[in-house]
Chain A
Amino acid sequence: MAKHDNFREKLIHGLFFFNGLLVVIVLVGIFILLIVKSAPVFKVVPLKDFLFKATWNPTATFVAPSYGMGSMLVSTLMVSIGALIIAIPLGIGTAAYLSDIASPRVREIAKPVIEILAGIPSVVIGFLGIVLVGPMISRIFKLSNGLNALNGSILLAVMALPTIISLTEDALKSVPSSFKEASLALGATHWQTIVKVKIPAAISGIVAACMLGMGRAIGETMTVLMATGCSIAMPKSFLSSVQTITSTIAIELGEVPYDTTHYYALFAIGLVLFVITFIINMVSDIVLRKYQKVVK
């Protein structure tokens, strides 16, 4: 019997090790694939032009095709940063309310509801962008059309909120209760305790939460494809129609002839997106580690 158990242990051990290894292999594999597939484009287009020029027209037939992802890069950053500007204050406020102010009853109801928000399919959010947020924006700003960067930002903020709220709440909860008690004992109000003691103590956890929220927003495809109007020109403001990196890949990869410059260029913009999200995740991970050390 003992021998039998030993074998089982080993088998399960091996299985889990293989699982863990698989994730690493997949990640490295994707990275290598992206590099190999995107390398040929840089023989045709210099890296600087590719990243910063704002003319993207790979299917041009009347002029030479152009591969400059500048406007897409700006659009992607605009939409995601716009989403963060909306989502961070809302997210931290909600998290502070849930962790310190809400009664256990309210918390019990509110938490699952916020988690359900994370489960709404992105295509449904995009649909709301077309029929609800778009017309609202066009009415408020007196525009002829509400499909623009602001619309995308609002929708992505909604999608990033659950991540930001639940991670920020965790960070606030893990601030030792002695901090709060000491602050209240010294005569600070509830508000002062939250803003001046708890949030600064949990700041690295909160920063990590926001970075992960941004990671969520920057890679989102369907919502922005539906709601931002998809105009390839360099955006002038948040009220311009924009086309993000993800939208471009989604629109063009379906019909691109394989092994052409256009095909490689799509992999290259995918690589840029991958590098951006990789950096965001790395930074949030580093911040989170630092924070864990401080609290322990």
Chain B
Amino acid sequence: MNKAATFLIAFTLMFLGVSACMAAENMVEIKGSDTLINVVQKLAETYMKGHPDAGISVTGGGSGTGIAALVNRRCDIANASRGIKSKEVEDANKKGIDPKRVVVAIDGLSIVTNTQNPIDKLTMDDIGKIYRGDVKNWKDLGGNDTPVNLYGRQSNSGTYDFMKEVVMKGEYSPNMKSMNGNAQIVEAVKQDPGGIGYVGVGYVKDAAGINVLKVAANPGLGYFSPLNSMDVKTGNYPITRPLNQYLNGTPKGAVKDFIVFELSAEGQKIVEDEGFFAVPREYQRYNNDLLGISDNLDSSTTKYSVEGRDGA
């Protein structure tokens, strides 16, 4: 009888499952962009050192995955390397979610090639032609007679969308290899003499053995490198983008506390140490408005558009 009873209990437990996912008050769940994952993880680690009672988990999966998780109430903060799409806002509103955006860092999306490739600069137009599959050999752009090998991200990546909507203004060539993340693109391009890839600047700042190209919006405006922080911050480097976090409504409690930390001088120092760029003033003002923090920054205008959506 004992055996049968044990069996029955085990069986019942199996069905009930251990659904004791008790969310503690200080638990913050962050999910999304693979471009942001390293820097946000670092921020969370540092934050938790000062707040031993807080628990922050940071996972990747891509910007689209993060925003979908926010909409489905499976995370508190969605990391996104692109702006939220109007379709996603609609879906969120239907489910009673009010997505609010905070800008935590600035990225210069970097175009990388192999060190054997003599080409050191491209225009936005060239990059579009390459990724749309219109240019198939580097010699067409004045380089070696080597076929172009495209490396990109998978379609759940915000960088994938940003590149398509803002830089290429067209569809990707079906021959592009879709890699899992920024680091995998850097590794692949290092090995491939005909390779080209796009990654967040945080992944190439100290990278050896890879070319980081200078890019021009058009040849007349001059070529700029994403490695020069001034050119990224002023927007001279044409593929500059804000890295965002989306929240449900105005943040409160632990979420707000963590975001205030991210945007503090200490937080922004970590952002720069990880290879990205600190948030410039107009975004600071935008963030402070959302967080309800008064500031006394002056009101200069710049090239950034402080809108919910990027590009398109």
Contact = CB atoms under 8 A, between A and B. Distances in A.
B192 A60 contact: no
B209 interface: no
A255 B65 contact: yes
Interface stretch (A25-33, A86-94, A226-234): A226-234
Interface string B61-94: 1101101100000000000000000011001000
A144 B149 contact: yes
Nearest to B85: A257
Given A231-B175, A233-B175, A254 B61 contact: yes
Interface string A220-248: 00000110011111000000010100000
B104 to A, nearest CB: 21
Given A138-B191, A144-B194, A145-B191, A254 B177 contact: no
A257 B88 contact: yes
Interface stretch (A7-15, A40-48, A97-105, A200-208): A7-15
Interface stretch (B42-50, B163-171, B199-207): B163-171
B267 interface: no
A189 interface: no
Nearest to A19: B11
Contacts of B238: none
Contacts of A11: 4, 8
B155 A59 contact: yes
A141 interface: no
A61 B312 CA distance: 10
Interface string B154-167: 11100000001100
A55 interface: yes
A294 B68 CA distance: 55
B188 interface: yes
Contacts of B91: 257-258
B179 interface: yes
B188 A145 contact: yes
Q: Which residue of B170, B173, B174, B191 has the most chain A CB atoms within 10 A of its CB atom?
A: B174
A12 B4 contact: yes
B174 A232 contact: yes
Given A144-B149, A145-B191, A255 B62 contact: yes
A243 B149 contact: no
Given A8-B4, A144-B149, A145-B188, A254 B170 contact: no
A144 B156 contact: no
A255 B174 CA distance: 20
Nearest to A8: B4
B155 A61 contact: no
B4 A145 contact: no
B269 to A, nearest CB: 32
A259 to B, nearest CB: 10
Given A147-B177, A231-B177, 20 more contacts: A4-B1, A8-B1, A8-B4, A12-B4, A61-B171, A62-B169, A63-B171, A71-B174, A145-B188, A225-B180, A226-B180, A229-B177, A251-B155, A251-B156, A251-B178, A252-B155, A254-B62, A254-B156, A255-B62, A255-B65
Interface of B: 1, 4, 7-8, 11, 61-62, 64-65, 67-68, 87-88, 91, 149, 154-156, 164-165, 169-171, 173-180, 184, 188, 191-195, 312
26 contacts: A11-B8, A15-B7, A60-B171, A61-B164, A62-B164, A71-B174, A130-B184, A135-B191, A144-B149, A144-B191, A144-B194, A145-B149, A145-B177, A145-B195, A225-B180, A230-B179, A231-B174, A231-B178, A233-B175, A241-B177, A243-B178, A251-B156, A254-B61, A254-B64, A254-B65, A257-B91
